[in-house]
Structure 1
């Protein structure tokens, strides 16, 4: 079964190019396009069930990507969103993730990585381009903590910390399982345990909180 994709980008040429590229995959089908967040929101309010994922640009007129994410959350539109942009702007990245985006890729990414990212996000995972993740760690220095009011989390085991570092490096559950010689189901359960201990609802926030409370160092090798 094909994953149904909505493209939201103010540049028509970009949308056309993406649609043509994604059509090369046997697993994807672009079913809707929008030129800005306002147009996308209008369509999603009536037709959200018709798409499995939204590929969203950040900088757009009328309503930008972050504003669309916030509006979707306010209206309980639960379609997963993958950010796809030319701007390596980590402040906007953090805001997008906090607003509910499930992943973030730059537009110069290879088609194989983009298709993999779409499939992972549709499957309920997060997707942050590894080359961005390293820079993101440094960009978080000095930012006000979203988790400042949270209680100190339950201590993570050595194995959970190892999995958390692999999550921060952008690894999927399958990739973590291969590295650690575990079953994918076991890794999925351990990821759920990590999120519960950190008091967050998804992998992205687990990594962000771990960075902010020092479980993952800014200078670690990913």
Structure 2
């Protein structure tokens, strides 16, 4: 069972590299992507049952990832919301935590931690969805 992931990142090179890395290493299925706050917010809220993980950059072509995070505040507890940013400062991490983000990763040195997060969340999701064996 693949982890259905939506990516909000305005840099096409970073987005494509991220998709390739996650699909290869973490059993992720990318269900879509956006470059702006409006595109991301609209898709995530209109397709609330079609994603398990959203990866959000804070600085977008139009708008801010913070607006996306706020729009996802009412998501299911099973859905994970993470930030992947070049600006993962302590202040940004605190603000993201206030908005209910599950994790914040720095693009420059925490990609491995993001991959690990995806693997763990995908494994937990698969275990929760697997039928239990009869005693």
Give TM-score scaled by structure 1 length.
Answer: 0.50
* RMSD across aligned positions (CA): 2.1
Which protein has the bigger helix share? 1
Alpha-carbon separation, structure 2, partners of 1:31 and 1:90: 30
Alpha-carbon separation, structure 1, partners of 2:16 and 2:2: 19
When residues 96 and 55 of structure 1 are mapped into structure 2, their CA distance, relative to the original with a 3 A threshold, is: same
Q: Secondary structure at the match of 1:32?
A: strand
Task: Tell me: higher relative CO, structure 1 or 2? Use CA pairs within 8 A at least 6 residues apart.
Answer: 2
Write out per-residue CA displacement over residues 193-218 of structure 1, whole angstroms, 9 at most, x where no aligned residue: xxxxxxxxxxxxxxxxxxxxxxxxxx
Alpha-carbon separation, structure 2, partners of 1:84 and 1:42: 20
**Runs of 4 or more above 6 Å deviation:** none
Alpha-carbon separation, structure 1, partners of 2:43 and 2:2: 21
Comparing 105-114 with 12-21, greater Cα deviation is found at 105-114
The unaligned stretches of length 5 or more in structure 2 are 126-135
Write out per-residue CA displacement over residues 33-72 of structure 1, whole angstroms, 9 at most, x where no aligned residue: 1102211111112212111100111112433111211122
Residue of structure 2 in register with 1:94 after alignment: 94
Which protein has the bigger strand share? 2
Give TM-score scaled by structure 2 length.
Answer: 0.78
